[in-house]
Amino acid sequence: ANNDNAPTVQYPQSRFYRNCLALSSDKFDALAKAADHAEGGSESVNSIKRVAKLFLETDRLSYAVETYGYDRKCILLTRMEPLDSSPKNDILLGWTTSGKLKS
């Protein structure tokens, strides 16, 4: 084995979530599994899954701020419409006030 399949992304991605949540990889995987869903369950189960998905998207948002210099006030988490267009319908939109990103 030459480790070609070694993970290249650390989860949670943001330092903020790694420091605040201190999730083990097993717990983060469980959170990701809960967030990876299609609507169709009970309302309470879907609500729990949406909250799990929100945690993951907020981690991505924090990573964009930390890594690329986005202003947190210039990132929008929204969803595609119609809401049933896709079970994976969350969208992060980001822009900078300076027009430049960190590389």
1 has a pLDDT exceeding 60 = no
CB 70 within 8 A of CB 64: yes
CB 96 within 8 A of CB 79: no
Interval 68-86 mean pLDDT: 81
Nearest CA to 64 out of 50, 74, 51, 78 is that of 74
pLDDT tens, residue by residue, 33-58: 888 766 566 777 778 888 888 889 88
Interval 67-80 mean pLDDT: 84
pLDDT band, very low/low/confident/very high, at 86 (cuts 50, 70, 90): confident
Q: What is the pTM of this model?
A: 0.74
The pLDDT score that the predictor gives to residue 103 is 61
CA–CA separation, 12 and 45 (whole Å):
23
